Amino acid sequence: MANYQEIVNLNVGGKRFATSWHTLTWVPDTFFTALLSGRIPTVRDETGAIFIDRDPNFFELILNFLRTRDIILNGVNIRALRHECDYFGITPLSRRLALCDEMNHSSCGDVLFYGYLPAPPINTALPSNNNNRNTNICSRKNSTASNTEVSSSRTHSRNSSLDLRTVGRIPSQDQLGRSRGHSRAASLGNADCIKGPQGLRPPEISAWADSMKVQIIKAHHNWVAVAYTYFVVGYRLTDACGWCIVFQSPVQDSPIERIALNAKTSGGGAGASGATSAGTDVMLGVASGPLVKLWAFSTHTEPVRRTLIGTFNLGVRVEHLLFVGPQLVALSGAGARSKAGVWHTSTQHWQVQDVAHLTTYDTAGSFLLLGTATGAINYIDMQKFPLRMKDNDLLVTQLYKDPNQEPITAISVYLTPKTNLCGNWIEIAYGTRYGSVRVIVQHPETVGHGPQLFQTFTVHQSPVTKVSLSENYLISVCSEYNHVRTWRVTRFRGMISTQPGTTPKAAFKVLALEAPTAQPHNDCGPYGEQDEEQIFIQKVVPDTDTLYVRLASNGKRVCTIRSVDGSAVSCFVVAECEGALRPRRLLLCGHRSGAAQMWDLTGSIDRLTKSNTGKKADTEPETEDSCVGDGGPTPDELVRLLAHCDLDAAPAHPPSPNRPHAP
């Protein structure tokens, strides 16, 4: 085959091509030079043509490039074509395609990208069983200690409180080595890491790198807490300096499972070591197993003062950790051994009480509502909590009992605004294990008589996992691959009304193939305040760098978020940031690389909400088919995502329980 003009017949994926030996070999060191020189064994079809098992459509484009040294890319998937070029080793075309592909992607993100917080320096020893170890943490300023358990650190942060978590692969070393810091307001510096002899990291530091993916993100006001396996880093946002590292928690002996963040705290008595929490900017709770540690951080002094308020024991594994006002609450739904623990900032007292069969919770003002497997809705009034310290009683009071005694699996509380005519109406929506969604209301004039059943929906055939009652919509989610039903709520003078009543709005799915243990920490939502448009965050597969932001009212896609550095998303939260010049709704993503990325969703949500106004009557329902084109992932996107997911290991939705008959 030394004749450059010799014809070569090819069968590529069943389609036949004829070209010359010279056309295939003018680019050196390619698949074709190895094939025609005999370095790669050939397979021929019945006509003697060389068979190549690749896509004939892409091969036709590559062959035309080899013939003309030019290519037309109208309607071509550049990334897929580049993959084929890499396979055949056509370097000149592959480089051109790489540049074309990179024109649409940037490490600075798109217009929604708001900031990049790099992973903190890996400069802390691995946890040991020695509880008396002395841990030093290095940051942009040297750490110091005070007479309490104090450390200092510079930091940076932002907004509202929610919980998330990670799953999957350990990040690669090149990802862990990234030190890029990016933020709109300010760049972040990296402190020097502790190194051993000849500049090498000691073995424990290398082992530590394996645990540097972000496990949980929580936010409150202008603060953000980023939790790794054994420690938490706190960030604060200011208009002048942007995001800055303010504190870092001590390294814990056990992996961190839950965190809670509360900013702008005030008051408080003496702490565990005689310190006070007066004037603290933020309080951080961390749970591992049954133990809860609570710190107060004061940034009014330099260096930052960290005070350990105390270590508390719930008695069972903590499943939920949150603040209700300044009170820290720990909950566990371990069947008959369910417990609730409360630490009160005024009395500095930790109190635990059994709350049997706890299944779900929600908060409204100073109230903590608890749903149970017996069909009861209980509540704790945190304002009355200090009145019964001596009785060791959390004042857990039954508010309502489901008429069919169905186990309550989701609950949402909406307090109507006070008017001159009446006070707050309390409206509660809850879902049950048998798929029922019920709405109950409490009139201000009938507080002593308890809530009254207002409406019941029985559209779900699987257990209800989420319920959200807002000013305009009732949203419910069941366990059948996060199937969502929404209803438009009619109000009169701010109160829910039966004229014309609640009307169906949309039905769609927010598919998320997470492992059961990871589902509580990769919560799809809905996120948002009750007086604004709420959204879902859809993470289809565990190991992905792509998230889909969708309106909770109709499922339509707001935008698509992709990691700027290609690292997989390990956790996320939507937060209302109050530290900027105007409030913004941010999507905060933790990544397996240890970094956190931020995306401003405010403008996109507002534009889509306004564009939907007037297009369709509110009473006209939207079907699942009407949202396919602009809702979740398209069939092509979904197939590409599922290619990286083990469907055999993906959880199937549980069978629907048989609905009991009404008594």
pLDDT tens per residue across span 199-245: 334 445 445 555 788 999 999 988 999 999 999 999 988 777 788 88
* pLDDT at site 320: 92
* Residues 224 and 358 placed together within one structural domain of the fold: no
For the chain, helix (H) and strand (E) counts, in that order, are 9, 37
* pLDDT at site 452: 87
> Is residue 24 a contact partner of residue 36, using CB atoms and an 8 Å limit?
yes
Q: Is residue 275 part of a domain?
A: no
* Residues 36 and 136 placed together within one structural domain of the fold: no
* pLDDT at site 135: 36
Tokens at 568, concatenated: 């997989």
* Residues 94 and 114 placed together within one structural domain of the fold: no
Q: Domain containing 86 — which CATH number?
A: 3.30.710.10
Q: Is residue 337 part of a domain?
A: yes
Query: Per DSSP, what are the bridge partners of residue 143?
Result: none
Reduced to 3 states (helix: H, G, I; strand: E, B; else coil), residue 608 is helix
| Nearest alpha-carbon partner for 213 in 542, 601, 644 | 542
pTM of the entire predicted model: 0.75
Reduced to 3 states (helix: H, G, I; strand: E, B; else coil), residue 218 is strand
Question: Scanning the structure block, which residue is given the tokens 């913004």?
Answer: 584
* pLDDT at site 503: 82
* Residues 533 and 645 placed together within one structural domain of the fold: yes
Q: What is the pLDDT of residues 433-482, one digit of tens each?
A: 999 999 998 876 665 677 889 889 999 999 999 999 998 899 999 998 89
> Is residue 360 a contact partner of residue 410, using CB atoms and an 8 Å limit?
yes
Number of compact structural domains in the chain: 4
* Residues 434 and 566 placed together within one structural domain of the fold: yes
Tokens at 436, concatenated: 């029922």
Spans in the chain with pLDDT lower than 50: 1, 125, 129-203, 205-206, 266-278, 420-421, 617-619, 623-629, 662-663
**C-alpha 614: how far from its chain's center?**
32
- How many residues are there in the chain? 663
* Residues 523 and 648 placed together within one structural domain of the fold: yes
Q: Is residue 496 part of a domain?
A: yes
Q: Is residue 30 part of a domain?
A: yes
* Residues 25 and 149 placed together within one structural domain of the fold: no
Q: Is residue 231 part of a domain?
A: yes
* Residues 583 and 516 placed together within one structural domain of the fold: yes
* Residues 167 and 234 placed together within one structural domain of the fold: yes
* Residues 98 and 197 placed together within one structural domain of the fold: no
Distance CA 158, CA 244 (A): 10
Q: Is residue 302 part of a domain?
A: no
CB burial readout 508-532, b (16+ within 10 A) else e: bbbbbbbeeebbebbbbbbbbebee
Q: What is the pLDDT of residues 153-199, one digit of tens each?
A: 333 333 333 333 333 333 333 333 333 333 333 333 333 333 333 33
Structural domain boundaries, residue 32: 7-102
Among candidate residues 337, 355, 386, the one where a domain is terminated? 386
* pLDDT at site 390: 55
> Is residue 572 a contact partner of residue 203, using CB atoms and an 8 Å limit?
no
* Residues 549 and 657 placed together within one structural domain of the fold: yes
How do strand 426-432 and strand 408-415 relate by DSSP bridges? antiparallel
Distance CA 482, CA 291 (A): 32
* Residues 89 and 142 placed together within one structural domain of the fold: no
> Is residue 253 a contact partner of residue 131, using CB atoms and an 8 Å limit?
yes
Reduced to 3 states (helix: H, G, I; strand: E, B; else coil), residue 92 is helix
Among candidate residues 87, 102, 117, the one where a domain is terminated? 102
Percentages helix, strand, coil for the chain, rounded to the nearest 5? 15, 35, 50
Q: Is residue 394 part of a domain?
A: no
Angle at 263 between CA 333 and CA 135, to 5 degrees: 80
Among candidate residues 102, 120, 142, the one where a domain is terminated? 102
Q: Is residue 274 part of a domain?
A: no
Q: Which helix (H) or strand (E) holds 123?
A: none
